[in-house]
Amino acid sequence: LLDAGLFRHDLFRLGIASQTLQNVALGGAMIALPIYLQMVHEYNALETGLTLAPLSLTMFATALAVGKRAGRWRPAVVIRAGFGLVTAGMLLLLPLVPRADSGWPLVLPLMIAGAGFGLLVSQLNNYTLSPISDERVSEAAGVNSAAGSFGLSFGLAFAGAIMLATLAFTFTNKAEASNVLPAAEQQQVAHALEDDAQVLSNTQLEQQLEGRPPEIQAEILRINDEARPEALQVALLIPVLAGLL
């Protein structure tokens, strides 16, 4: 990665940065959205996969269509348009997260983001490797692939960490502001989240609250319903920021 011979090319540096940011955006979306569907709407793995299918199918179709017409547009223009669509799709998801009662309202934003990813996939490799000589293209392709893998891993890890930190912070603040939870319960919630913050479905949380007074159960479930969407919205800001960058 530190080879000056490769990184003296401006287009290669820009391509590596773009490849990394594309995968940060994809990784951030792929950690936040499945958790939202499985923990908020309590979808199983099949239902989650079908709900996210518009993103992957649109990505595939767009990459295929644009790849056949690659010579008609400058690669830089296509890449900028791709990042613009990814950012727009993720921004459209933000207000839907707390309001959507199923996966259907997510279809259009997912298709927009998928089209953006498709534009990026169709152009980024060629754009990144275009200034590299034939003798070094395999080495450059390896660096490009490593950058993409790093971006995907970073997006998954960073968005997940941000989501859990936001959940712990939001849940604790709402518990401390509650007029229903006694001080002992508030401290127990704060201690539990400090040691092991998790995004839980209401069914999972109800199982953990068995034996507690009904009013305590209802209040903690209410706080969970409010805290999860806020945490997931913050996590979705990761792909938004990657697209903007």
> How do residues 134-156 score in pLDDT, each as one tens digit?
788 888 888 888 989 999 999 99
* Cα–Cα distance, 216 to 219 (Å, whole number): 5
For residue range 110-132, what is the model confidence (pLDDT) as tens digits?
999 999 999 999 888 888 877 78
Please give the model's pTM, rounded to 2 decimal places.
0.87
Q: Residue 74: its pLDDT value, please?
A: 85
Whether residue 192 has pLDDT greater than 70: no
162 closest CA partner among 240, 214, 102: 240
Do the Cβ atoms of 109 and 90 come closer than 8 Å?
yes
Between 99 and 9, the more confident residue is 99
Residues 42-93: tens digit of each pLDDT: 899 999 999 999 999 999 999 998 877 766 778 889 999 999 999 999 999 9
